[in-house]
Chain A
Amino acid sequence: GENVEQHPSTLSVQEGDSAVIKCTYSDSASNYFPWYKQELGKGPQLIIDIRSNVGEKKDQRIAVTLNKTAKHFSLHITETQPEDSAVYFCAASFTNLFFGTGTRLTVIP
């Protein structure tokens, strides 16, 4: 099956700085790469996703890049705000959804 690795496990940034979370996957057949944000006491929620026919996607302060050759994808958050503090999960899918181990992001005011 698919194996998704995610780094770093924890990340602290100053408010206004950028944050980058990186993931790698093993199954070259995977073609859908979503990112989820989990706030305390809640279930994960989709924040952005990218498909294998696209190299980059942006939505306001968040962007995702995908390198299919190297089998890695990254989440970029610019101008971080305290409300961005949460656990972030990357995932990869072909017929089933596999998650990374998560990154706890703390934005320091």
Chain B
Amino acid sequence: EAQVTQNPRYLITVTGKKLTVTCSQNMNHEYMSWYRQDPGLGLRQIYYSMNVEVTDKGDVPEGYKVSRKEKRNFPLILESPSPNQTSLYFCASSLSVRANTEAFFGQGTRLTVV
């Protein structure tokens, strides 16, 4: 089944404790992206990647890191999480490097930083 898999689905952590949210897609997609969803703000892009070893900042990259060492995986790293990073996070992938084909989303990761 074609899908984007994120883990974990739920995470509660403390301020400053490094964490990684994993994202994997099995569709051989070129483009992958991370979004955070907050009430009233919609989906804001954190980072995106158009190919292996190529990553770029989105609209809200501060406090986040990503890597794209393999085509299928695109982990999101929070080196020192803070309460303002409490949010619902989505990973997405798309066949086209220009993001002008259907984007497939994971189920989401609800992160709480206390």
Q: Interface of A with B (CB < 8 Å)? A: 1, 6, 9, 31-32, 34, 36, 41-46, 49, 51, 89, 93-102
Contact = CB atoms under 8 A, between A and B. Distances in A.
Interface of B: 4, 33, 35, 40-45, 48, 58-59, 90, 92, 94, 98-103, 105-108
Contact of B40 (A1, A45, A49, A101): A101
B28 to A, nearest CB: 18
Contacts of B100: 31-32, 51, 93-94
Task: Name which of A41, A97, A100 has the most chain B CB atoms within 10 A of its CB.
Answer: A97
A89 B99 contact: no
A98 B44 CA distance: 8
B103 A9 contact: no
Given A1-B59, A96-B48, A99-B35, A34 B102 contact: yes
A46 B101 CA distance: 10
A22 to B, nearest CB: 15
B61 to A, nearest CB: 12
A101 B41 contact: yes
A-B pairs, top 6 by smallest CB distance, nearest first, are: A43-B105, A101-B42, A32-B100, A99-B43, A97-B99, A46-B102
Contacts of B40: 9, 101
Given A1-B59, A49-B102, A93-B100, A43 B108 contact: yes
Contacts of A99: 35, 42-45
A93 B98 contact: yes
Contact of A97 (B4, B41, B45, B107): B45
Nearest to A102: B42
Contacts of A36: 103, 105
B42 A46 contact: no
A42 B108 contact: yes
Contacts of A6: 42
B99 A96 contact: yes
